[in-house]
C-alpha cells in the first residue's frame, strides 16, 4: 500500500465570486444581435445560415459563461484574482509585497474604461466585475492594484491581517 502525498493549500481567509455587471451582458447580447442581423444582410433564411447563426450564438454564450466571472481569493501568502470558470487570466499578489490597503470607491468606465481588466490613467492595474467599490493595494515597489469587491471592508481586513499579523 502506498501513501499519496498531497500539497497543503494555505488557509483561505477570504473568498468572493462575482458575476459581471448587467451592462456587460447587455452589450455582449447587442453585439451578438448586430452580428446575427449583419450575417443575414437581407438574405432569406437557409439551413446553412441558421446553422452558422446558431453556432455563433452558442460560441458567444459559451464565451460569456466561461469568461464573465471573477473570483478573488486571499490566503496568508497571496491575494489572487482570476476571471472565468476556467481561469484564463490570473493575477497573484504576494502578501509579502503589500505595503498597505485601503477601501475605495471608483468610477468603472470613467477611471478604467470598462469592467474586467483595466488600467487607469496613472498606470494602476484594476480588476473588477461589477459595482464601484474595491480595495486598492499599495505595493512595496511603489505600484498599486485595485481589486473590485462587493465586500471591500472584509477583503481589506483579510489582506491587512495576512500582511501584518498580530504578534
Q: Would the pTM count as exceeding 0.85?
A: no
Q: DSSP per residue over 24-71, as a string? A: HHHHHHHHHHHHHHHHHTTPPP-HHHHHHHHHHHHHHHHHHHHHSEEE
The pLDDT tens digits for 15-39 are 999 987 777 777 777 777 777 666 6
pLDDT score of 14 more than 70: yes
- Cβ distance 162 to 74 under 8 Å? yes
Domain definitions of the chain by residue range: 19-67, 71-162
* Spatial strand order in the sheet of 14-19: 14-19, 69-74, 78-83, 89-94
pLDDT of residue 6: 43
d(CA 27, CA 145): 26
The pLDDT tens digits for 133-143 are 999 999 999 99
Mean pLDDT of 56-75: 79
Amino acid at each position: 500500500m502506498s501513501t499519496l502525498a498531497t500539497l497543503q493549500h494555505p488557509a483561505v481567509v477570504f473568498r468572493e465570486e462575482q458575476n459581471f455587471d448587467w451592462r456587460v451582458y447587455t452589450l455582449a447580447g447587442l453585439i451578438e444581435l448586430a452580428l446575427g442581423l449583419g450575417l443575414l444582410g437581407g438574405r432569406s433564411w437557409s439551413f446553412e445560415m441558421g446553422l452558422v447563426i446558431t453556432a455563433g450564438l452558442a460560441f458567444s454564450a459559451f464565451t460569456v459563461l466561461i469568461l464573465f466571472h471573477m473570483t478573488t481569493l486571499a490566503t496568508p501568502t497571496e491575494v489572487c484574482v482570476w476571471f472565468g470558470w476556467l481561469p484564463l487570466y490570473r493575477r497573484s499578489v504576494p502578501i509579502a509585497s503589500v505595503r498597505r490597503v485601503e477601501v475605495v470607491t471608483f468610477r468603472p468606465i470613467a477611471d478604467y474604461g470598462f469592467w474586467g481588466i483595466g488600467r487607469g490613467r496613472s498606470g494602476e492595474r484594476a480588476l473588477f466585475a461589477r459595482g464601484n467599490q474595491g480595495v486598492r493595494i499599495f505595493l512595496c515597489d511603489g505600484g498599486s492594484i485595485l481589486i473590485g469587491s462587493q465586500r471591500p471592508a472584509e477583503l481589506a481586513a483579510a489582506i491587512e491581517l495576512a500582511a501584518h499579523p498580530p504578534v
